Amino acid sequence: MVARAKRSLKALPEGLNRANKAVLKFATKLDLAVELNISRATVQNFFAGKAIGRENFHNICQKLELPWQEIAELDKNTQATQDRQTDNGNNDIDALVKELRQKGNASIQQKCGMIRVLDMSQPIDLHELYTNVNILEKISGRRRLEVAELVKVCTSDEFDRPGLGTIVQERVLGLEAVKNYSKLVVLGKPGAGKTTFLKHIAIQCSLGEFQANLVPIFITLKDFAEIQHYPSLLEFILSEFANYGVSDTAFVQQVLSQGKALVLLDGLDEVREIDEYRVVQEIRNFSSKFHSNHFVLTCRIATREYTFEQFTEVEIADFDSSQIATFINNWFTAKHSTKHNKLVQNLKQNPQIQELATNPLLLTLLCLMFEESADFPSNRSDLYEEGLNVLLKKWDAKRNIEREQVYKNLYVQHKVDLLSQIALKTFERGDYFFRQRELEQHIADYICNLPGVSTELEALQLDSEAVLKSIEAQHGLLVERARGIYSFSHLTFHEYFTAKEIVSSPTPQLIDTAFKKLISHITHKRWHEVFLLSVGMLRNADYLLQMMKQQIDQVLAADEQLQEFLTWVSEKSRSVNATCKLVIVRAFYFDLDLARTLELVGGSLDLARAFDRNLTRDLDCNLALDLALDRTLALNRVLKSTPNSISVLNSVIARAIDRACLIDPELKESLQQLKKQIPYLDTDSKGFELWWKNNGETWIEQLRTLMISYRYLGHVWQFSNQQKAALKAILRSQSVVS
């Protein structure tokens, strides 16, 4: 005889811990009682671990989204009864899930199996391209931080591509987040990969490789919203399964009733405004009626404040460097191309461009561009303009999505003008984070001059807030980093819009004033990219370049030692019989000695490569010799940090001797004699290390004397910190001129 189940239940201690966490979604426990229409005492007894009526116990657990069987204290007989009841139905429902998943697999593959975005000539298999996404369990824009806390990622003295969106919280693998939360809203910036993530989940579930006990149901909310006869979400799902060949709708409803569906709702932000309320209500009603199923809903950050009480909100994190490399490798492998290593290397050498690659959509653009030419445009402003064009126009247009315009007359060019004004004002002050009210004031000042805009203060304030949210949600160019605190999504875009505002001055007088302000920052490192972009945007940059040269000359005129250094660069360059242009030779020696002066081992020859990016691939034999000698001169610093010091020293000296053999046999003999002074090179590493510790500096000075004598190279420049800063500024400005 089956034992009768108890009429009352009470919670286990572990179950109470889970319940106390789950109830935090309600303001108070009284609110929970009111919503369930039960007495306050019943709720209090539940949380006190006392027995309450079975039905009330079930209802409380259901409202808290907790399985009552795991919360309740069950005696052995009750548990056995529950287990038998569960076992009886498991076989049938599991078989039904398997059948429905198999019948829907072809449709899931058709909807989700391929990806084609932007100007891709043909679709790519999603499986080949997909890169795992990471999830932030706390929305970054809702952090309660002050500007001072955010600005810690930027330091004005050594401003070197600060990560404006640096996230310190732990990241969770996307699929793990879906496992951890039965109802999930996945938020993200435009192009963050929300739809791709959802499609990947659908395919993995359909193949039985993820949540194999569930049936995936993938719904594009825009398509659902635009069906003419306005079906309910349940009707829409039933019709989808009918297309799979499932004629008996009772089977589908049975799966939904028993919580065996993984409902994937994509693109709430893409629903038209006129359909919005109806769709939101449908999602609320459906997820409430079939609450035991798993739900994942995607939406852009900063869209209207949708509230789904039972859902947990998370955010897709930007790609990190390993994800960028994986995506690039997948892309070019799918294209049967070998360019992935070159693209990864190019990104490492261009931190400004690598910033953009943290966004999957912009990374796709970079892959498309690199696929065609195996390089980025020489004028970076062209690249950034294309990226902005994607965010401002192409991304929605390619998918036939029409966004609501806050103002019909606020066209794309108006948005560019507005962002440019904001960028210059904030960049001039050194502000990379700005408060919402300041942004709204900038916007109000701009839009009040547009036709048809109310100039009443209250209306203007509401309108400016709407424009800000629109720019954030639709284009992702301004991003809320903490509550009420914004920045540009990438420092690169902040610099681009700053440069655009400078070169877009409407009259010659204003242009001259703007250029003079810009020139005043020529020794400031953080303005370097703005100089580059400004020159790149101008049809004829001669006037700006002349102003830059005059400013540099003024900096140098007052310093005899800097003049002496530049004179040496000029004399040394003219003395070398090199095959490349004199300007490149000058840049080469400027780079070489400046790197040694700044104690940068293995300088990157940035200035010389700015004139000729392929310089080091086929280096002139004279320049190759001096480069090898310069590396030898740096041995004292190199050997301090290398474990295999003898091998490094032998290879560096051998390279210098080989190069000298082609140019100057006497120098070759002198270098060989100098090498013979070093004992233990073939026998005793510890003996060598001890000898080098006591004699290395003296040996290096002998080498320096040889270099100065034979090659007029290797001088010691005792520059002050101020002079070093001036030389860095000259180096940056010269790279702009080049």
Asked if residue 521 lies in contact with residue 427, where contact means CB atoms within 8 angstroms, the answer is no
**Residue 261: strand, helix, or coil:** strand
Question: Using CA atoms, how far apart are residues 174 and 197, in angstroms rounded to an integer?
Answer: 8
**Single-letter amino acid, residue 24:** L
446's CB contacts (< 8 A; 6+ apart) are 414, 417, 418, 421
Pick from 100, 351, 279, 335: which is nearest to 205 by CA? 100
Where is pLDDT greater, at 2 or 712? 712
pLDDT in tens, 398-446: 777 777 665 556 788 889 999 999 999 999 999 999 999 999 999 988 8
Asked if residue 596 lies in contact with residue 613, where contact means CB atoms within 8 angstroms, the answer is no
Question: Using CA atoms, how far apart are residues 26 and 60, in angstroms rounded to an integer?
Answer: 12
* 8 pLDDT above the threshold of 90: no
* 491 pLDDT above the threshold of 50: yes
| Bridge-based pairing state of the strands 294-300 and 261-266 | parallel
Average confidence score pLDDT of the chain:
85
**Average pLDDT score over residue span 111-126:** 88
What is the enclosing helix (H) or strand (E) of 482? Answer: strand 478-482
Question: Using CA atoms, how far apart are residues 36 and 30, in angstroms rounded to an integer?
Answer: 10
* 708 pLDDT above the threshold of 90: yes
| Predicted pLDDT of residue 59 | 84
Asked if residue 610 lies in contact with residue 587, where contact means CB atoms within 8 angstroms, the answer is yes
Cα angle for residues 692, 693, 698 (degrees, 5° grid): 65
Q: What is the residue-wise DSSP string for 438-449?
A: HHHHHHHHHHTT
- In this structure, the chain runs to a length of 738
Asked if residue 451 lies in contact with residue 431, where contact means CB atoms within 8 angstroms, the answer is no
Residue in the structure block whose two tokens are 């301090």? 640
Query: Given pLDDT bands bounded at 50, 70 and 90, which one contains residue 213?
Result: very high
- Say how many C-beta atoms besides its own lie within 10 A of residue 236's C-beta: 17
Question: Using CA atoms, how far apart are residues 288 and 114, in angstroms rounded to an integer?
Answer: 32
pLDDT in tens, 192-207: 999 999 999 999 999 9
Where is pLDDT greater, at 113 or 617? 113
Question: Using CA atoms, how far apart are residues 199 and 190, in angstroms rounded to an integer?
Answer: 17
Give me the half-sphere count of Cα atoms (radius 13 Å) on the Cβ side of residue 157.
Answer: 2
**Average pLDDT score over residue span 720-735:** 74
Cα dihedral 712→713→717→723 (10° resolution): 100
pLDDT in tens, 317-370: 999 999 999 999 999 988 888 888 899 988 988 888 998 999 999 999 999 989
Asked if residue 632 lies in contact with residue 653, where contact means CB atoms within 8 angstroms, the answer is yes
| Bridge-based pairing state of the strands 312-316 and 434-435 | unpaired
Question: Mind listing the domains of the chain with CATH numbers?
Answer: 8-74 (1.10.260.40), 100-112+132-316 (3.40.50.300), 321-398 (no CATH), 412-551 (no CATH), 559-737 (no CATH)
Listed range (111-115, 439-443, 723-727, 730-734) with the worst mean pLDDT: 730-734
Q: What are phi and psi of 644, to 5 degrees?
A: -110, 65
**Single-letter amino acid, residue 588:** F
253's CB contacts (< 8 A; 6+ apart) are 234, 238
